[in-house]
Amino acid sequence: MTKAITFSEFGGPEVLKWADVDVGSPSGGEVRIKHLAVGLNFIDVYFRTGLYPAPLPNIPGMEAVGIIEELGAGVTGFSIGDRVAYACQPIGAYSEARVMPVAGLIKVPDAIDDQTAAAMMLQGMTAEYLLQRTFHVKQGDTILFHAAAGGVGLIACQWAKHLGATVIGTVGSEEKAELAKAHGCDHTINYQTEGFQERVMEITEGKGVPVVYDSIGKDTFEKSLDCLQPRGLMVSYGNASGPVTGVDLGILAAKGSVYVTRPTLMTYNATRSDLEKSSSDMMKLVANGTVKVNIGQSYHLSEAAKGHEDLEARKTTGSTVFTL
């Protein structure tokens, strides 16, 4: 039997169980993949807690790399033995093997190893759409990126620096500040010891920034708006501290006719052409060394609950990979 992490109720990390599962054979348009490594992302927590709906029982996870070991009917463009990665639904990546639709699969270049591939797909393509499509970061921009020492943050800081931006990043410790600086962050703000809104205005000489990227959620939302220039854009792309609720739209006028968007990777890469372009742009920068994927910690897949505990406690840095 194949082993996987399963959950049959919503709740804390303790609902994650290491169990036997039946994978089965692929149907039309699908392949069976033997996983080599699996990525951990905060969206996995949202599914585990029920913030994002999912049928029960289920297997969490949206990101992995593996080898195709069986083809379903009508599959073209892929062969048995291909090494592929994905970062998309349906969930089910926390498994030794799975059946997966080919629509979300991307072949992995030889220059990128298994653990990097598992760590970079969701976070790397998130950085891509945030910096190139939600707001087009360009030479001379100054941006604010929350959780700069996290998986998305470290990739995005390097990418934004590559684009010619000045990067301000928030972190939760001096160790994380050093890590963010080593990955392209020009200015770090430790939110445990100083107010980030005051520091942003000091750094920008009172002008504010044209865009704030915020994966924290309710704890940082209002002060992030205060960091924006008039008509600036607040990109709320995550809820690590809880979802933002009860917003009076009038506050956007009061803060300077600012904009707010709540984007998701699934929307931005909904078409095959967008997925291929996003993954290609990201993989080129990883393969040529412009963006280095920092894997701060790894756990055996059977220890997924511990990985979730550490992620939610903000004990992790960079990307997290489950090994098999």
* Tokens representing residue 268 in the block: 């931005």
**Over 90: is that where the pLDDT of 242 sits?**
no
d(CA 127, CA 142): 16
One of 3.30.450.20, 3.40.50.720, 3.40.50.880, 3.40.50.1010 is the CATH number of 139-262, namely 3.40.50.720
Contact 137, 143 (CB under 8 A): yes
Average pLDDT over every residue of 4-11? 98
CATH 3.90.180.10 region(s) of the chain?
2-120+269-323
d(CA 150, CA 140): 24
Which one, of 74, 81, 60, lies nearest residue 103 by Cα? 74
The whole-number pLDDT of residue 303 equals 98
* Tokens representing residue 179 in the block: 């890590």
CATH 3.40.50.720 region(s) of the chain?
139-262
Q: Which residues of 136-171 are buried (b: 16+ CB within 10 A; e: fewer)?
A: ebeeebbbbbbbbbbbbbbbbbbbbbebebbbbbbb
The domain covering 2-120+269-323 belongs, at the CATH homologous superfamily level, to Medium-chain alcohol dehydrogenases, catalytic domain (3.90.180.10)
DSSP alpha helices (H): ranges in 196-271? 196-203, 221-225, 250-254, 265-268
Q: At residue 163, what are phi and psi to the nearest 5 degrees?
A: -80, -10
d(CA 300, CA 297): 11
d(CA 234, CA 221): 9
- For strand 259-261 and strand 228-236, is the pairing parallel, antiparallel, or unpaired? parallel
pLDDT tens readout for residues 110-167: 999 999 999 999 999 999 999 999 999 999 999 999 999 999 999 999 999 999 999 9
d(CA 270, CA 291): 24
Contact 84, 109 (CB under 8 A): no
Average pLDDT over every residue of 163-177? 97
Residue type, 64: A
The whole-number pLDDT of residue 148 equals 96
User: At which residue do the structure tokens 């993954």 appear?
Assistant: 279
**Mean pLDDT over the full length of the chain:** 96
Contact 121, 145 (CB under 8 A): no
Which one, of 251, 227, 249, 225, lies nearest residue 236 by Cα? 225
Percentage above 70 pLDDT, the chain: 100
**Over 90: is that where the pLDDT of 209 sits?**
yes
Which residues on neighbouring strands pair with residue 235, listed in sequence order?
213, 261
Q: Is the dihedral of CA 186, 192, 197, 202 positive or negative?
A: negative
Residues near 198 by beta carbon (within 8 Å), at least 6 away in sequence = none
Which residues on neighbouring strands pair with residue 84, listed in sequence order?
66, 107
d(CA 155, CA 125): 10
pLDDT tens readout for residues 134-144: 999 999 999 99
Neighbours of 13 (CB within 10 A): 18
